[in-house]
Amino acid sequence: MTLYQPFLDYAIELLQARLDLSPYPIPDGFESKSATTGKGRNQYEVLTTSYGYQAPKLRQIRAAHVQGGKSLQVLNFVIFPQLNYDLPFFGADLVTLPGGHLIALDMQPLFRDDPAYQAKYAAPIMPIFEKYQAHLPWGGDFPAEASQFFSPAFLWTRPKEDEAVQTHVFDAFKEYLQAYLDFADRAAPITDSAELAKIEAAQLRYLRYRAEKDPARGMFTRFYGSQWTEEYIHGFLFDLERKLAISH
């Protein structure tokens, strides 16, 4: 059992219980990919497994799970809403490297500077954020350009012990995900064309930024080569631009 398998199992079970889920297409060659890395006695296998779902209000629910033994464990779990809802994105980046854990949990806003939007989607989850801050202190510096994409309830922490991940981080992940699905339950479709245009622009701005700055790019390129990596990033992880190009 890897460190983040319980997170993935919990998320899939919760989604199946609460949503009308159907598979989201994963392009050929990306469901599972393995590579051997390291030299001599330090050699180990890295396995990357992808999961994709969709629901009536949620365009893409996807996970990338990277298992590389003690040296490397990653779960990237993201929910992108349909373009006719003003829902934020759900984002969980759970990373374990030899030096420790890097944990980022948030509901990333479409419109960070809009007070009404913050009141609707950030204020209700601040109590959850505050509850876990005592156990999961702020993780330190973050790129300034990235801050525009995070909410005031952005949980960014670097716990040292596995136990903190298995308890406090796991509990926070559960509460954030449940709260997100509560938002999705209540979300009403947007019909105003000007609002819809703003939502699409905000989603694309976020996806382009994430695709360009994906912190996993170097890791995936090292394991699987740049051609596979770029196709994985643009053709599955952040695929909205391509999907829109096909539909327009």
pLDDT at res. 125: 93
Closest among 173, 187, 198, 196 to 87, alpha carbons compared = 187
Q: Which domains does the chain have, with CATH numbers?
A: 5-191 (3.40.1500.20)
Name the residue with higher pLDDT: 8 or 141.
Answer: 8
Lowest mean pLDDT among 19-23, 94-98, 168-172, 187-191: 94-98
Please list the residues that pair with 38 across neighbouring strands: none
Lowest mean pLDDT among 18-27, 125-134, 209-218: 209-218
Tokens of 99: 């030096």
> What is the C-alpha to C-alpha distance for residues 234 and 211, in angstroms, rounded to an integer?
7
Residue type, 117: Y
Q: What pTM value is reported for the model?
A: 0.94
pLDDT at res. 119: 93
> What is the C-alpha to C-alpha distance for residues 224 and 125, in angstroms, rounded to an integer?
38
pLDDT above 80: residue 145? no
Mean pLDDT value across residues 12-32? 93
pLDDT band at residue 1, thresholds of 50, 70 and 90? low
Closest among 75, 57, 63, 49 to 21, alpha carbons compared = 57
pLDDT at res. 124: 94
DSSP character at residue 24: P
pLDDT at res. 202: 93
pLDDT above 80: residue 115? yes
Mean pLDDT value across residues 216-224? 88
pLDDT at res. 8: 96
pLDDT at res. 142: 72
pLDDT at res. 4: 94
Question: CB under 8 Å to 205, separation ≥6 — which residues?
Answer: none
Element (H, E) at 101: strand 100-108
Distance from chain centroid for Cα 83: 17
> What is the C-alpha to C-alpha distance for residues 19 and 90, in angstroms, rounded to an integer?
15
For 157-195, write each residue's pLDDT tens digit. Answer: 989 888 888 999 999 999 999 999 999 999 999 999 999
Pairing of strands 44-55, 32-37: antiparallel
